[in-house]
Every structure is written in structure tokens, then in C-alpha cells.
């Protein structure tokens, strides 16, 4: 099933692929990309191409939604940081109120750092077993 067919299955949802939307005066921007990992979808090599995508995040973004975490934030696997360095740079530039991501199942939780609240919303553990409750935040 291609992207177009999957989007047609969505009901009461908005799909953001390197795009944004404003809802009730809150600006959201989302992207599915991640540094290369296995042979999964939306993989890109670390470096200029990922940086180019993150450079597209508008400065007025209130809520940033990405699949991958920024480097050094709720991104550890076996003690090693695996998040995206270019995304970390973009988050420092944009300073969203909230940055929601997943991908790294071992680091579910919330971390407030500076002006940004980071949320690793992964509900499954590293064995893909449902382990965590959803995280709810107020804006």
C-alpha cells in the first residue's frame, strides 16, 4: 500500500509529512524522517539531506512532531545516544513549546529543557510489547 492509499484510510486525522497546520492558534509541524535504521521507511543518511528537511521547520512552530528524537534527548539505546544531531540543531533554532517523537522505545517519558518540553511517546518497549500509558500535556 503506497502513501496515497494509506492517507485515504485516515479518519478524523491530519497527516503531516514535512508540513504544518494551525489549529486554534497553535502551530503544528510534522515529519516522519529518521537517520538510517535497518531498512525501515523514511530513512535518510545522517547529514545534509536530513538537515535540509529540519531546516524547513518554521520558526513559529509551537508543537513539533517527528518520528525520531533529537540527539541527546530521550534517545538512548544501551547507553548510546542515537537521535538526530541535525534535528537537535533545528530544535534549538525553533524552540517549540513541545517536541513529540517516538522511535526509541527504551526512553518513554517527558523531559523539560529550556523552553521546550520533550515527549518520547513510544508506548511499546524494545520488544514491541505495550508497556506505557499515553502522555497527555496541556498547552
Domains of the chain: 15-120 (3.60.21.10)
Quote the CA–CA distance of 5 and 70 in Å, as a whole number.
30
- The pLDDT tens digits of the residues spanning 58-88 come to 999 999 999 999 999 999 999 999 999 999 9
pLDDT band at 105 (very low <50, low <70, confident <90, very high): confident
In this prediction, residue 97 carries a pLDDT of 98
**What is the three-state SS of 37-93?**
CCCCCCEECCCHHHHHHHHCCCCCCCEEEECCCECCCCCEECCEECCEHHHHHHHHH
pTM: 0.90
Amino acid at each position: 500500500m503506497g502513501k496515497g492509499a494509506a492517507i485515504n484510510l485516515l479518519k478524523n486525522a491530519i497527516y503531516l509529512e514535512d508540513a504544518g497546520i494551525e489549529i486554534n492558534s497553535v502551530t503544528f509541524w510534522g515529519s516522519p524522517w529518521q537517520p538510517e535504521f535497518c531498512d525501515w521507511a523514511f530513512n535518510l543518511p545522517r547529514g545534509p539531506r536530513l538537515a535540509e528537511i529540519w531546516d524547513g521547520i518554521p520558526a513559529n512552530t509551537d508543537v513539533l512532531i517527528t518520528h525520531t528524537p533529537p540527539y541527546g534527548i530521550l534517545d538512548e539505546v544501551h547507553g548510546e545516544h542515537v537521535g538526530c544531531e541535525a534535528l537537535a540543531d533545528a530544535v534549538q533554532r525553533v524552540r517549540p513549546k513541545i517536541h513529540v517523537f517516538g522511535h526509541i522505545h527504551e526512553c518513554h517519558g517527558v523531559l523539560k529543557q529550556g523552553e521546550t518540553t520533550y515527549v518520547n511517546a513510544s508506548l511499546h518497549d524494545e520488544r514491541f510489547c505495550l508497556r506505557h500509558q499515553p502522555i497527555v500535556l496541556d498547552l
